[in-house]
Amino acid sequence: MRLDGKTAIVTGAGSGFGAGIARRFLAEGARVMVADINEKAAMAVAEEFGGLGHRVDVADGASVSAMIERATELMGSIDILVNNAGVTHLPAFMEEVTEADFDRVFAVNCKSVYLAARALVPQMKATGAGTILNIASTAGVSPRPRLNWYNASKGWMNTATRAMAVELAPFGIRVNALNPVAGETPLLKSFMGEDTPEMRAKFLSTIPLGRFSTPEDLANAALYLCSDEASMITGVCMEVDGGRCI
């Protein structure tokens, strides 16, 4: 019960890493809003594990503000925000990625962090405490070819994490990030281009520990960084990657 009495919002929590984080937070005693653009998926996770399902478009300011307002109304002040929702473009040479795909990647992966901070940071400043966790990617640390603009968006996320940490520390707010290697999530096929045994073997050959990351791996790291055990840790971009970035 390491999050007993805490309130949390996890975006992109209808599947993959987000669902794993939401489930672990609930198991550790937190009240959790399970937010996702796929309302059915969010509700399914919430109904199974006891959270509060909510539909949100993290790239839309009004939708993000409504999420924060509803979470506050139903759970009280928010202690933890996990910015997990993310998208990628299909593997392609940088000049061949469409403008629409570029805009979508940066809206969901980057603008969402700004929108959530704009909506929630004033509340955290008023209470003098809070934890924000951004789910970035090893792509932002050690970029892969043909995922250029996705790489850049996750690099942005790591830089934003450090900048937020420095600015918000005097207000008692901690900000960290996790950099997972690809895992068994809905984005895996998009990263590889095609999900075949050959492509999986090629991808796994770049991970020294020899396996993909799992929702449980991310949940364990997220739990630590969002718990009071990490009260002296801020501005850290932790790699959860089986050695991928060594």
Rounded-to-integer distance, Cα 127 and Cα 230, Å? 19
Strand partners of residue 11: 35
Q: How many Å from the N-terminal Cα to the C-terminal Cα in the chain?
A: 33
171 DSSP assignment: G
Strand partners, 36: 55
Burial class (CB in 10 A: 0-12, 13-18, 19+), 47: exposed
The closest of 43, 40, 34, 44 to 12, measured between CA atoms, is: 34
Cβ–Cβ < 8 Å for 27, 99: no
Which residues are catalytically annotated?
A: 150
- Return the beta strands (E) in 91-168 as ranges: 130-135
At position 233, the amino acid (one-letter code) is: I
Angle at CA of residue 133, ends 132 and 134, nearest 5° = 120
Residue 219 in tokens? 């949940």
